Amino acid sequence: MRLLVVGAALFAVALTACGGGSASVPKPSSNRTLPPAPRGAVPKPTHSHIVNPPILSANLSTPVSALLSQAGIAKISGGFAARFGAIVISSNLTTYGQFLASVHRNYRSGYIDNNRQVWVVTYGFPSGFTTRAGVIAPGGQGIFAYDAVDGRSVARTYSGSYSFLLIHGRRAAATRVRFPSMHS
């Protein structure tokens, strides 16, 4: 509080020393008037006025020849599987909205249109898999969505027994969680 009073006093001294006050403030050149101040409670702003198109827009009308082929996604998914000791269980071309529905998520992305075509690849991890957040136990699965145009990974989800790594200072403790199956 004392700092605030001292700051206000210094501001007043500086304003007076430079000839401040309302006389030195230039008047606006336009004759526009400001709207009246709202009475009562001010409504909370909504984001409905923000209409940004998604970064990855719908591409259902894109010809199949312009999309990543089955061989192309097999190369991408096979490379991932070989690098991390996974096996490819299935790969299907579908929409991002159908992918979200298949993993039981009531979610709509602002970055990816639900009508964007994606390759959905299901991996099995017979030896387990380590992510940034923890470890998937052996026998777990991962479902990855790859953009059907350029093959970049746009989403992923895991099922099975998962150990979260909680870091407290220098110690790390593991907490085991059982995720429900994504196919039930």
pLDDT tens track for 37-92: 556 555 555 544 445 777 888 899 999 899 999 999 999 999 999 998 999 999 99
| E strands, the chain, in order | 87-95, 117-125, 129-130, 134-136, 140-147, 153-159, 161-168, 171-178
Q: Is the pLDDT of residue 134 over 50?
A: yes
Please list the residues that pair with 44 across neighbouring strands.
none
Q: Record the pTM.
A: 0.61
CA angle 116, 76, 165 (to 5 degrees): 90
pLDDT tens track for 137-175: 899 999 999 999 999 999 988 888 877 665 544 434 444
Single-letter amino acid, residue 100: L
Nearest to residue 89, comparing CAs of 126, 118, 131, 116? 126
